[in-house]
Each structure stands twice: as structure tokens, then as C-alpha cells.
Structure 1
Amino acid sequence: MNKKGFTLVELLAVIVILAIILAIAVPSITGILNSAKRSSFEADVKLIIKGIEYKMLERDAGTIVDETILPENAPTEGAPFYMTENGLTAYGANADNYVVNTTGEACIITSLNPVTVTVISKSTSEFGAYTATGTRNTLTVTP
């Protein structure tokens, strides 16, 4: 009698081989995804720094009419950069991704020459929980 099909042993062998491949691939894929999220957060923070630098140029050029009305347009050392129309959100930063305190501070400027900041992302953000500290060229991102 000529039977066609697979035996139970052959099917189990295929399942075991697929399980081994998945066991090897899943950690690699997870690492790649985490690396991409970290890189995305770092790029976002660099964009925030560029936004602060731009606001400094605006301030120095005298295009800000009244700094008391729009203090976020005139960054100063030790001051926060706010999640407002003229702050982080104006540069593509989503308020849902960053730790923002009750007064709206999302980014602390620790120095203006060069622009040095500390930015913290929420653990529920698209990036995960990260803290970035430094300048555009020497940014350190830690989980």
C-alpha cells in the first residue's frame, strides 16, 4: 500500500525546527526594535536642541517683541523649555512622549553655550523610558 502524507514524527521535527528558529530570532528582533526606539528618541532630542538654538538666534536677532509674554521664546540657562506652541511642540515633539511637570516644563536647559539639555521620555511613550543629557554633538541617552 502506497500512503501519501507526513508522519507524526516528521511534523514534530518541523515544529521543533521552527521553535528553534523563533527562539534565536525573537531576541534579535527585540534588540533591533529597542535600538530603533532609542535612536528615534535621540533624534527627537537633537531636534529639540536645534529648536532651542533657533529660539536663541531669534532672541539675539531681536525678532521677539515681548519676552515677558513669550518666555519660552527666549531660552535662558537653568530654565525649562515648555511644551507649548512656541516650545517643543513647534518642533515636532509630541507632549505625550515627554515627562512634563505641572508647570509644563519638558526640557531643562542646563547651558546655552553650547546648548545643553536634559530631556526625559515617559515610559509609556513611543520610545520607552529614556533620559537624554548633553549637547547636539555629545548627547548621552540612558534607559
Structure 2
Amino acid sequence: MPVDASQRGYNKELLSVALAIINSLEEELNDDSFSKLGAVFSQKMVIAALDLLDRGDVIKYVATWGKVDYEVLGSTSTYFVQLDLPSQIPFYCSCPAFSKAVLFAQTHIMCKHVLGTLLARKLSMAMERPISADELLEIFTKHYQ
């Protein structure tokens, strides 16, 4: 059963499985890819994440010093996503669902924005934009006021 339907408590093992599935995906998604993702995530979440890719809503910001962060254009707002963090939960999203379902209730291992960003990175589908330190500061400020 998908984690976001019934899992309680943050599950590092399930996260490892999910990341292994994402890393095993080929450059082009197919029915097999969808089935693999469905083993860990609900169909609704997979479809929502893939919709972000289809709409080109994942933006990859590459700072002049090499730092990479992402912004995801959601249905009601724009969210800031960070990947590869050195913590138990190796990513962060500024959306309310991440705070509620991942951090507090611990019923999900990630939100659709993080899943979409991980898929966009794996499939090279993020819109890449260089960013200066001042522009990155402006994005941080916008999301963390």
C-alpha cells in the first residue's frame, strides 16, 4: 500500500526504496515507471508530480558558485524545494503539505513538489536558470517571510 495512504511515522527504509525507484527510472517514463512509482506513492500523488513536469513547473536555479535549488510552480502558490540536505529527511519544500504531512503528522515521506523535483532532476526536465546571490536571497526572502 502506498505510504501516503496509510504509513505512520517517518520511514527511512521506505524513503530509500522510493529514491532507488526514482534513480532506476529511464530517461523516458512509461507504464513500468508508473507502476514502480505506484508501489510507493499513491496514484494521485504520482499524477500530480508528473503534471508538474508536463507543465514545465519545476525550475532549477544554479548559483554562480554551484549551489542548486528548485522552485515549483504549484496550483495555488510557488514553493521552494531543496534536495540533498544532510539530515534524516534529505529534502525540504516550503508548501503547507510538506510541513503537515511529512514533518508533523509523518504520514508521507515527501510532498508532490519534492517528488516532481526529484523526477525532473532525474529526467533532466527542470527548466534551468542561472541565479546570482542577490536573486537567490530574494527567493529565500519571498518563501520564508
- The verdict on a shared fold, with TM-score over 0.5 as the criterion, is no
Taking structure 2 as the reference length, the TM-score comes to 0.26
Bigger relative CO (Cα 8 Å, ≥ 6 apart): 2
Which of these two proteins has the greater Rg computed from alpha carbons? 1
Taking structure 1 as the reference length, the TM-score comes to 0.26
